[in-house]
Amino acid sequence: MAGTITEKILSQHIVEGKPEMGQEVALRIDNTLTQDATGTMAYLQFEAIGIDRVKTEFSVSFVDHNTLQSDFKNADDHRYLQSVAQRYGLYFSKPGNGICHQLFLERFAKPGNTLIGSDSHTPTAGGIGSFAMGAGGLDVACAMAGAPFRIKYPKIVGVKLTGKLNDWVSAKDVILEVLRRIDVKGGVGKVLEYFGDGVKTLSVPDRATITNMGTETGCTTSIFPSDEITKQFLEAQERGADWKELIPDANAQYDEVIEINLSELEPMIALPHSPGNVKKVKEVGMINVDQVAMGSCTNSSLRDLKVVAQALKGKTIANNLHLTISPGSRQVVEHLMESGEMRYIVQAGARIMENACGACIGMGCAPSSAATSVRTFNRNFKGRSGTADADVYLASPEVAVATAITGVLTDPRELGEYPKIEMPEKFFVNDNMTLKPLVENEANKIEILRGPNIKPLPSFEPIGNVLEGNVLLKVEDNITTDHIMPAGAKILPLRSNIPEISKYVFEAVDPEFYNKAKNNNGGFIIGGDNYGQGSSREHAALAPKYLGVKAVITKSFARIHLANLVNFGIIPLTFVNSEDYDNINESDKLELVIGDLTGEVTMLNKTKDKEIKLTHTLSKLDAEILKAGGKLPWIKKTLK
């Protein structure tokens, strides 16, 4: 039977359900990854499940987010994470080793494997042919305990690439073009599978840039074939044994096809404050820029930074801005040092930051007030940079380096001849900062180390048939998890302390939300379309649950956040008629008759004496998990 790459991988991993679009299927998960901002909670949950050792083929715990250690909190979390990895049989990547997605691509990702990670940009591994998905930390904890991961069987969209990228145009421009066409919710319920002759012109790092930022379309994942280019990359990483060919059959049928001629693409840029707000650089014009930041899991590969280094050779950055560079891994840094190209970057005036996420999550490098920042990152949500009134633009390394040189937003083609770079035939392989899993008899002797900021998990009671309360907040379309649960240097260190971090829920939207929730003993949130887009952070569900939020009622949800709401016992409901969104105001008193959540839900707005019909996409299992009070009490009972 002819098949797409997606069909081939899923057919080998479905353990329950039928491969029919929109139907729930349960997948066997080969690998998991976590990072430290979400990992502490994921491992607290794994401990609570009561399994003695991870049951995946392998799992990896990375430290790359909370590396700005202004007090003991982050350092304590890292100590906890290392001891948990040693105790339960995980690989552990120490602070300074690099960004989780770049490292996983270099050292761990396998074509044909399934992967879930407690970070929404886990689909980066799709660049090597892995079926990789972002998920909440609790879903990752359950997968490590041996439970399958459930998704709705996706619509498979073939993205046909033809032609070849011109000089000064790169992989970032490809995914920006995809976003220009389908925006930030056009990928919901879909897999973006790349095929066509143009695929052969893209390296594995190029492909990974595209699959990484495919997350911003809302898709389940993005994936490329595993071909001779993939084989060459893995052999250069001394992992040739991990390669296997994985390509679509010649007569594979896609549910939808998007065609992109790479030869016709131009340098692109996403304008504030959405990755989907995309235009050609030449259309935007020469705006003044205060900061340029390069790196993140999207564009911190050796290929990207070699282009930057060669473009900067013999030049000095503009006087009116500053430039920061965050390499993706120690391997990238070592090669830049060996080739002498790191010198070009330093001599030009760039600030060399840690091999970590840093500025992308507001962990340092915040722009000045009302600044314009051009970044090679994947998100430009308002306030995410750490500066509420900054304008953040997303662009390729080529656009970013041209802008750093000129001081204004610049089409890089104006710089003249494209820099020639030489990629190594073999990469420097040094895994001394990645601790291997201990054998079981040694692992059982490890003491798990907890600092005072690591608090026990809150417990939640089963949900009744009728819910009552007030509307605590009404928000518009495209509310992100950054709106719900901010990141940044002040808040990220509290990720293992739910009572403290809950004080910042919706802080940027309504600074009084915490007090409203406490004074009203919880209540309801009303939202527009695509509620919960962005990060996989489960704290955007867990902290509201801690504050007593009972249900979120919207026009539509983003995939990962909807799953997180179910996991923590907050009922995700949608309007049968979206116009009813206008019939609810903040502070209205609501009564919901939810029953067993197998059909429509009736809501009475007591304040307006109006009945409103609600619906949901919950499976029978979702309903069972919700009624139990969340996935943790349910999984503990199930796995016994």
How many angstroms separate the CA atoms of 602 and 446, rounded?
52
Q: Which of 481, 424, 145 shows the shortest CA–CA distance to 302?
A: 424
Q: Rg of the Cα trace of the chain?
A: 24
How many angstroms separate the CA atoms of 107 and 101, rounded?
10
* Residue 397 token pair: 């390394």
Contacts of 51 (CB under 8 A, 6+ apart): 88, 144, 145, 146, 639
* DSSP-assigned letter for residue 188: B
Neighbours of 426 (CB within 10 A): 9
* Residue 325 token pair: 């560079």
* DSSP-assigned letter for residue 278: E
Q: Which residues are catalytic?
A: 64-65, 119, 379, 535, 537
How many angstroms separate the CA atoms of 561 and 532, rounded?
5
Quick check: helix, strand or coil at residue 284?
helix
For residue 35, the cross-strand partners are 62
* Residue 557 token pair: 């949800």
DSSP alpha helix (H) spans, 510-553: 513-519, 539-546
Q: Which of 34, 39, 65 shows the shortest CA–CA distance to 489?
A: 65
Sign of CA dihedral 280, 535, 487, 144: negative
Residue written as tokens 């930390």? 137
How many angstroms separate the CA atoms of 224 and 199, rounded?
8
How many angstroms separate the CA atoms of 521 and 443, rounded?
43
Sign of CA dihedral 602, 607, 610, 616: negative
Where residue 351 falls (left for φ over 0; alpha for ψ -120 to 50; beta otherwise) is beta
Distances (CA, A) of 106 to 56, 296, 299, 301, 354: 20, 15, 14, 10, 18
For residue 601, the cross-strand partners are 614
DSSP alpha helix (H) spans, 547-617: 559-567
Helix (H) or strand (E) holding 610: strand 610-615
